[in-house]
């Protein structure tokens, strides 16, 4: 399972929980809000009491939300408990280590809560609906790049919600009439549009400063900045995008079989949406500068603030310039928005928690052995790390666990011979590729639900050529860049 797991959270949450379900959902949402608020207080003034109270509220959220968690989320939570007891047995000063590991869990819970708030104004936005209409009506030549780009941009705001949104729109727009009665053409179009959406979405965590992958890397590698990382991840995203486009072109039908040429709709809604995203990102960067925060920390403050401003703009014609209605709507609808992210929080937080503890549990001899291995790999390290993350994801190891372990290890041992931005870009590229290949990722499970195919079939049959080409190209380029 990967970072988001809302694919089945709504279904499981309605089974066997009875009339007390709305009350439990509301309290879970309140606890998450409390965790996020206390995390912000800790970030702004360093209050230790706020961090400790946030950890207690997080424990309460995990206990209260247990009946609604997926089986995979429960397994990860139990793994955290088991490793915690092991740390109490093995470590000489375990409580300090457990507290630091829990800090990472709290921060990611606050991070995901902040991103989830953005969904409320997004789902109400007429601009997003116009963007979706424009994206799906593109002619065949431009359909893949525009859909992939739109999925990337939407994914920054909606996270895994973009897959459900786009796939529903694809099924509604890809009618048999639009394929001139040819069933095979309808199926080919559906497959190509779904793959464009999936591959585009997986680029969002690679390039977005608001993404969870960037947050994990920058949080653990404190000497690395977004400005240093961005050129590498942007170039990696371009290469993966072009490879996906090339694979789509090769797999598509001949031009004669595509049917009549349709008029290309305007992309102005997409341009307006891009400007909106740029404004949100600039707000986050401004807060990071003014408050002297790391970029992931500024996201926890800036994204909810931006969501509230966006919602107020939508309600500006009601009263008080939309401020009052936006505040009331946010208070009323926030429990509904936050009720579906429990599995995501458990998956992300558990991954970071387990990754941190796994490094802390290594004894000095083992730590020295791993350090010497990393040093010996030298210029091969970025390529090896990328392949390792992808391979581990195929057997169920969450990318956040492997990335947290690797970044924590690199932060402790120090690697002067390897470019830190290049190594981080390799990790994020590997993370991105796991989302289109591993049957344990939420993205693949959502795709499986819509297509009726198994996640393994999608990863191998639909994405096999793209994955193989991407791995070879990425490994070669990262080796050369080293």
- The pLDDT score that the predictor gives to residue 482 is 72
Tens of pLDDT along the chain (482 residues) come to 344 433 333 333 334 444 567 777 888 888 999 999 999 999 888 888 999 999 999 999 999 989 888 888 898 899 999 999 999 998 888 999 999 999 999 998 998 898 888 888 888 888 877 877 777 777 777 888 988 988 888 888 767 767 777 776 776 666 666 556 677 777 887 888 888 889 999 998 888 888 888 988 998 888 899 999 999 999 999 999 999 999 888 876 655 555 555 567 778 888 888 888 889 889 999 999 999 888 888 989 998 999 899 899 888 877 777 788 888 888 888 888 888 788 888 888 888 898 889 888 877 666 666 667 776 777 788 888 999 999 999 888 888 888 988 888 888 776 777 789 999 999 999 999 998 888 877 788 778 877 778 877 788 788 888 999 999 998 888 888 87
Alpha carbons 179 and 175: distance in angstroms, whole number = 7
CB-based contacts of 95, cutoff 8 Å, min separation 6: none
DSSP letter (8 states) at residue 219:
H
pTM comes to 0.80
* Chain centroid offset of residue 22 CA: 27
Give which of 478, 432, 419 is closest to 223, Cα–Cα: 419
Retrieve residue 147's tokens: 């859909």
Alpha carbons 340 and 311: distance in angstroms, whole number = 20
Give which of 438, 433, 429, 437 is closest to 383, Cα–Cα: 429
Alpha carbons 171 and 193: distance in angstroms, whole number = 10
- The pLDDT score that the predictor gives to residue 286 is 93
Alpha carbons 36 and 232: distance in angstroms, whole number = 31
Beta-carbon-side half-sphere exposure of residue 314 (alpha carbons within 13 Å): 20
Alpha carbons 173 and 393: distance in angstroms, whole number = 33
- The pLDDT score that the predictor gives to residue 135 is 74
| Residue 245 exposed, middle or buried by CB count within 10 Å (0-12, 13-18, 19+) | middle
Measured torsion, CA atoms of residues 83, 86, 90, 93, in degrees rounded to the nearest 10: 70
Task: Kindly report the length of the chain.
Answer: 482
**Cα Dmax for the chain:** 72
Distances (CA, A) of 121 to 155, 316, 327: 14, 13, 12
Contact criterion met (CB below 8 Å) for 102 and 84 = no
- The pLDDT score that the predictor gives to residue 16 is 43
Give which of 219, 225, 222 is closest to 107, Cα–Cα: 219
Retrieve residue 452's tokens: 């009726």
């Amino acid at each position: 399972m990967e970072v988001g797991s809302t694919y089945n959270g709504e279904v499981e949450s309605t089974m066997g929980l009875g009339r007390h379900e709305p009350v439990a959902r509301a309290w879970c949402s309140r606890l998450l809000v409390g965790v996020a608020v206390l995390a912000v207080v800790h970030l702004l003034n360093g209050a230790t009491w706020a961090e400790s109270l946030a950890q207690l509220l997080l424990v309460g959220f995990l206990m209260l939300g247990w009946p609604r968690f997926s089986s995979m989320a429960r397994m990860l939570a139990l793994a955290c408990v088991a490793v915690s007891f092991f740390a109490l047995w093995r470590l000489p000063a375990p409580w300090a280590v457990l507290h630091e590991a829990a800090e990472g869990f709290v921060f990611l819970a606050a991070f995901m809560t902040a991103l989830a708030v953005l969904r409320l104004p997004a789902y109400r936005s007429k601009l997003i609906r116009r963007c979706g209409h424009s994206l799906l009506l593109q002619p065949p030549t431009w359909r893949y790049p525009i859909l992939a780009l739109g999925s990337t941009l939407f994914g920054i705001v909606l996270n895994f919600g973009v897959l459900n949104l786009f796939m529903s729109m694809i099924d509604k727009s890809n009618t048999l009439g639009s394929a001139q009665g040819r069933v095979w053409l309808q199926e080919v179009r559906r497959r190509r549009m779904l793959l464009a959406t999936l591959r585009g979405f997986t680029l969002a965590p690679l390039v977005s400063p608001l993404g969870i992958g960037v947050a994990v890397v920058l949080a653990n590698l404190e000497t690395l900045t977004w400005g240093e990382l961005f050129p590498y991840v942007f170039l990696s995203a371009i290469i993966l995008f072009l490879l996906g486009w090339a694979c789509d072109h090769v797999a598509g039908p001949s031009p004669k079989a595509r049917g009549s040429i349709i008029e290309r709709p305007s992309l102005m809604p997409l341009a307006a949406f891009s400007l909106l995203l740029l404004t949100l990102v600039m707000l986050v960067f401004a807060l990071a500068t003014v408050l002297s925060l790391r970029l992931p920390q500024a996201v926890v403050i800036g994204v909810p603030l931006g969501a509230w401003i966006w919602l107020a703009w939508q309600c500006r014609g009601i009263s008080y310039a939309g401020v009052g209605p936006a505040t009331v709507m946010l208070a009323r609808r926030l429990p509904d928005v936050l009720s579906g992210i429990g599995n995501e929080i458990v998956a992300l937080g558990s991954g970071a928690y387990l990754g941190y503890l796994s490094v802390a549990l290594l004894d000095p001899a083992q730590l020295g052995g791993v350090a010497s291995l990393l040093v010996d790999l030298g210029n091969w390290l970025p390529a090896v790390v990328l392949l390792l993350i992808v391979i581990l994801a195929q057997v169920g190891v969450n990318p956040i666990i492997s990335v947290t372990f690797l970044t924590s290890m690199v932060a402790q041992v120090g690697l002067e011979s390897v470019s830190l931005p290049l190594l981080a870009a390799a990790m994020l590229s590997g993370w991105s590729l796991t989302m289109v290949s591993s049957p344990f990722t939420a993205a693949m499970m959502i795709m499986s639900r819509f297509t009726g195919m198994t996640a393994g079939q999608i990863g191998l049959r639909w994405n096999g050529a793209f994955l193989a080409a991407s791995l070879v190209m990425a490994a070669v380029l990262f080796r050369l860049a080293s």
